């Protein structure tokens, strides 16, 4: 396989893997049960105990980490005269990354991705 073909297949594989991370366009109902974190939690790498307990609920005691999806910034679409502008989702999360959350509250992020389903604004 030549270098160009290899680079193309690598990009294609990464695109498919990124698409599994989640979508950037959400509905209000999709964020209702999400845990809310302050930016200081992400920058310190430490999540509050009540959030950790929520994610480890029902997990075996031997489980040391769980996979989570972090949406670093969440924007709500602005309504104009009771309507959302055409094509805009209710909620936009332009920066998404997966992470491992440890029982002690430490969070280990993976590289960020920019979701591909976001409309051009």
Do residues 114 and 46 lie in contact, with contact meaning Cβ atoms separated by under 8 Å? no
The pTM of this model reads: 0.67
Do residues 28 and 91 lie in contact, with contact meaning Cβ atoms separated by under 8 Å? yes
* Location of structure tokens 């409309």: 119
Sign of CA dihedral 89, 30, 115, 94: positive
Where along the chain do its domains lie? Answer: 3-109
Q: What is the pLDDT of residues 5-48, one digit of tens each?
A: 777 777 766 666 555 555 677 777 877 778 888 888 888 999 99
Q: What is the pLDDT of residues 62-115, one digit of tens each?
A: 999 999 988 888 887 777 776 766 667 788 888 888 899 999 999 998 877 667
């Amino acid at each position: 396989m030549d270098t160009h073909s290899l680079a193309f297949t690598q990009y294609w594989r990464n695109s498919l893997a990124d698409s599994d991370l989640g979508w950037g366009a959400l509905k209000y109902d999709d964020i209702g049960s999400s845990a809310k974190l302050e930016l200081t939690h992400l920058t310190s790498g430490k999540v509050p105990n009540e959030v950790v307990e929520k994610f480890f609920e029902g997990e075996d005691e031997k489980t040391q980490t769980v996979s989570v999806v972090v949406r670093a910034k969440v924007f709500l679409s602005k309504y104009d005269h009771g309507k959302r502008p055409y094509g805009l989702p209710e909620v936009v999360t332009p920066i998404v990354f997966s992470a491992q959350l440890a029982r002690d509250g430490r969070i280990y992020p993976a590289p960020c991705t920019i979701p591909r389903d976001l409309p051009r604004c």
